[in-house]
Structure 1
Amino acid sequence: MKIRRKIELAVISDVHLGTYGCHAKHLLTYLNSIEPKKLILNGDIIDVWQFSKRYFPKSHLKVIKKIMDMAADGVEIIYITGNHDEMLRKFANSTIGNISIVNKAVLELDGKRAWFFHGDVFDVSIQNARFLAKLGGYGYDLLTLINRGVNWFLEKRGKERYSLSKKVKNGVKGAVKFINDYEKVIAELAIENGYDYVVCGHIHQPKMEYFENKNGKTLYLNSGDWVENFTALEYQFKRWKMYNYDSDKLSAFYVDEDFENMEIKDLIAAITIVDKHEKKK
């Protein structure tokens, strides 16, 4: 019998289902290891920008099925829209069973206010040059595809994984400045509005850091991604923790055997279960 960790809240973002860079099996291992009261999907879960009918493997369908099953089992799912799944913004403030779709969320956690949003609204490249941003997204997807081949070779030789995109980001001063500015602007806005925690994604940089100015302080949190960092945020016992798949994974938890032969009909069945749950309420 598998014992899942009971936690109050889990946050994942930037899964990018439908792209070659997505590590869906890693995410399934993580989701199978936890039993949260709430699961926040903080944007870019399904990548509509790079979506292709030619590439949506079973492991990606299994992630969607797993989330549907969690909702049917009573887990509150809050889907916060991002830029890669922006088509869902037209459905903001709607609910299906235990799943709600929103553009942002504010929760009270043990007397403290937490502000959740994806973060693309603070990205000037997204707001002012959408075409270039999408083009850059395709380039990033190609880089992660190449990176998967490199890491496959490294793992076969027993060597440590290597992130090409992270190396590029860290080696370009402009990218480093953008990330620092992004974090600072968001933290200062959270302080200005009296939020104790501000939780976002978008830039694929997992982080937990206190920011402070003359008006107060806030804890900035970024859930990272499931393309290169494989990270999530967890809240339990009044504390935040950064989960990292590479260092925290539990060998007992892998993709459930029940998922092995899953087809699209099973995904439809899962959605039907959630819908029936809604009608009973």
Structure 2
Amino acid sequence: MSKREVDIVIISDVHLGTYGCHAKELLMYLKSIKPKMLILNGDIIDIWQFSKSYFPEDHLKVIRRILKFVSDGVPVYYLTGNHDEMLRKFADFNMGGLKLLNKLIFNLDGKKAWVFHGDVFDVTMQHSKWLAKLGAIGYDTLIMINSITNWALLKMGKKKYSFSQKIKASVKEAVKFINQFEQTAAELAIEKGYSFVICGHIHHPEIREIVNNKGKVTYLNSGDWVESLTALEYNENKWSIYKYDASLCFKDEDDVLDTENLKNMLDVKGLFEKFKQEVS
């Protein structure tokens, strides 16, 4: 099976280092594509909940796969989010094809695209960070319980069920927050003259045109790799939401990476050992 060629791939909210992260599925997806540009739009590593005792090999493999893109000459942009906000003090770091930024603005077929995580619009984040962190721990616990429930459901031959998505859909305040988030991002983008505004943060994949009395913009959100398992793809002058499908992904010989090249770039395990010491 040949890899799909894609002009731009955007993923966010992977939350590596947490039990809810679907690292295996993300790895399969990353192996199935050949992007010309990869944008990691925040919350890739969950530093809030980082544990020295939990960072499985599959999570490390995702990082190695991303570095493999860099070594292959693919431009990779890591945009910081709230769960990896520790990295913001290193913004503008550049290591070959890997760039660490807080936001990204680029031209897309003659139009401007504005990419950033989106936590700047979250009032809880700005004024009650401790409450947001507490909520994140509760959310991760809910995902753990949901994973056990889904395991049992699959054993019984039944479909998976998402507690958090059901809660979000049924609680009016959650729906209202998502709508306000999208509207705020769109209004700012219109004021700045951007044609596309691309966010993450709210774990809600979306592509829609938003219009006000000052103009219009295409709002996009890449979703997440905890529940939605989605990415944004731009190819042949068109945006689309990719939804993980195991039948479209595959394992290949690249499972054994060019370790010598990667070691020359970065010792991933060594990096995480140092990182663990810093956050302990």
Quote the offset at 1:143 in angstroms. 0.4
Whole-angstrom distance in 1 between the partners of 2:202 and 2:264: 34
- Other structure's SS at 1:114 match: strand
CA shift for structure 1 position 85? 0.3
Are the aligned partners of 1:33 and 1:250 in contact in 2 as well (CA < 8 Å)?
no
Equivalent AA in structure 2 for residue 52 of structure 1: S
More moved, 169-178 vs 221-230: 169-178
Are positions 1:273 and 2:272 aligned together?
no
* Counterpart-to-counterpart distance in 1, 2:153 and 2:39: 33
The answer (yes or no) to whether the contact 1:72–1:274 under 8 Å persists in 2 is no
Other structure's SS at 1:39 match = strand
Distance across 1 between alignment mates of 2:101 and 2:93: 7
Does 2:131 match 1:155?
no
The residue type equivalent to 2:239 in the other structure is W
**Hey, what does 2:231 align to over in structure 1?**
232
Q: Alpha carbons of 1:252 and 1:31: their partners in 2 closer, same or farther (altered >3 Å)?
A: closer
Give me the TM-score of the superposition, normalised by structure 2. 0.91
Aligned to 2:271: none
- In structure 2, the residue matched to 1:245 is 244
- SS of the aligned residue for 2:247 comes to coil
| Consecutive unaligned residues in structure 2, runs of 5 or more | 268-280
Q: Distance in 1 between matches of 2:8 and 2:163?
A: 31
Conserved 8 A contact 1:96-1:274: no
Shift, 1:156, TM fit: 2.3
Cα deviations across residues 160-183 of structure 1 (Å, max 9, x unaligned)?
Answer: 211111111112111111111111
SS at match of 2:87: helix
Partners of 2:190 and 2:212 in 1: how far apart? 8
Counterpart in 2 of 1:121?
Answer: 120
Match of 2:79 in 1: 80
Q: What is the CA-CA distance between 1:269 and the residue it aligns to?
A: 6.6
Alpha-carbon distance in 1 for matches of 2:94, 2:197: 24
Structure 1, unaligned stretches of length 5 or more? 276-281
How far the C-alpha of 1:270 sits from its partner, in A, is 2.1
The amino acid of 1:46's aligned partner reads I
Aligned counterpart, 1:33 = 32
Q: Structure 1 residues 269 and 228, CA, compared in 2 at 3 Å: closer, same or farther?
A: same
State the match for 2:195 in structure 1.
196
SS of corresponding position for 1:250: helix
**TM-score calculated relative to the size of structure 1:** 0.90
Tell me the equivalent position of 2:137: 138
Pairwise CA RMSD of aligned residues?
1.7
